[in-house]
Amino acid sequence: MQKCARHEEYVSPFSARYCSPEISFLFSAHFKITMFRKLWVALAKAEKKLGLPITDKQISQMESNVEKIDFDKIEEYEKKFRHDVMAHIHAFGDLCPDAKSIIHLGTTSSYVTDNAELIQFKEALSLLLNKLLFVLQKLSDLAERYARSPCLSYTHFQPAQPTTIGKRICLWLQDFLLDARDWHRILQEIPFLGVKGATGTQSSFLALFEDDHNQVAKLEQMIATHFGFEKILPIAGQTYTRKLDLTLLNALESFAASAHKFATDFRLLAHEQEMLEPFGKSQVGSSAMPYKRNPIYCERICGLSRFAISLAQNPAYTAATQWLERSLDDSSNRRLCIPEAFLSIDAILNLMAHVLSAPEIQEDIALDHLEKQLPLLTMEHILMETTKRGACRQEIHEQLRQITFKAMKEAHPMEALIRSAEKTLGLKRKELEAMANPKKLIGRAPEQVAHFLKTEVRPFLKTHSPGKVSIPQVLL
């Protein structure tokens, strides 16, 4: 039987279905290999500038071959040497025969692997942060629009007190704002490993520069500056401390928890028909039930969020089990969990952007659910009013409890409540009807929304406004 080649091997659902081409490229073999070569070019340039015998011809030859990748040759070399970085050195050297002798001069493998990863992390987190800023903007617009729209709030998913749709959105918005601030801080603090040598002592570079410590420090700073890093990790073994991975994936995990909460709430509200996902003209909700309109994107957000949360365990184990100046049991683990963590967060953000692009917020249905619970929801206001007039709070509480249970059994519970309260508590019908106005029961929700947007969200977005955001047009 003839097989279709593209279906013969496993393909990650992230690259095939979920994540954007931009994030996928950042974790591709092409990005890694070209970044190794750019690091070697930067090293050679800095070493030449500081006096080592490296020629312009050698550097020019390296620069002109950065993008020329022979994947088969690299694979062939790796099978021979059983060492991935040596395979890349030799494959690049074949392309740059004049520079072959100075490629990788003074460094160990971690110069290219770890510095490339830190560059990768910085670019990837910057891309994700831009998408998160886009989500913050969408949520803040919705919060402002629905700041005064009454709805029923829930505790234990049981009817609680009136709130507003905008206030509920701010619960999500606040969590994502905390995540965005955390990501921005980490972006500012990601350090460059620099040139540390085989065990972090920089002894090979001291040998190259004849024990001139100042020259070694200049070399490291020049390369870090070239790649846009303000900070250099001052202490390292052969690799950068794996605590950096832990910090980074914890921040991604924290966002995944926020996203799961958002998507879970959205799914609950979809059940109540108060908030619905965008639904395509030809979209099918169920192969069996034509009427179905399932919150599939929020369900997917939940599934991917749980996956991202689970990945955050790995960096803790890895950081805990590093031996002395380094061991290699981290490499295979990190190749799997770190890219998948970034890709899953990108997929979640793509889905969120889609959901928030055109959510159907059904104010009438939300208000109807609220009004059905009004006999219960006015209790607190009646209790406050009668207590202000001198009644005993505990006695009124018991009277209201009994009145409510009886009223809720009637065909028109609100009318039954008003009659009983008039008779028992001495309140006038107009007073009771005013207390049952949903807009009088939402407390300071609109003011809280306005204050939060003005003092927290908008200043942050003004300072960190989202640039152009690339969201996949087709979400399978």
Residue 286 bears catalytic tag: yes
- Count of Cβ atoms closer than 10 Å to residue 416 Cβ: 18
Report the 3 state secondary structure along 444-469.
CHHHHHHHHHHHHHHHHHHHCCCCCC
Question: 15-51 as b/e, with b when 16 or more CB fall inside 10 Å?
Answer: eeebbbeebbebbeeebbbbbbbbbbbbbbbbbbebe
Q: Provide the 3-class DSSP secondary structure of residue 163.
A: strand
Residue 227 phi, psi (nearest 5) = -95, 10
Q: For residues 112 and 43, what is the distance between their CA atoms, to the nearest angstrom?
A: 10
- Which residue in the list 7, 156, 282, 287 is annotated as catalytic? 156
Structure tokens at 411: 């065909």
The end-to-end CA distance of the chain, in Å, is 29
Q: For residues 434 and 252, what is the distance between their CA atoms, to the nearest angstrom?
A: 47
Q: For residues 73 and 284, what is the distance between their CA atoms, to the nearest angstrom?
A: 47
Nearest 5 degrees, angle CA 6-CA 12-CA 13? Answer: 100
- Bridge partners of 276? 360
Measuring CA to CA, how many Å separate 95 from each of 88, 182, 448? Answer: 11, 43, 63
- Which residue in the list 12, 101, 286, 357 is annotated as catalytic? 286
Hey, which residues are catalytic here?
Answer: 156, 286
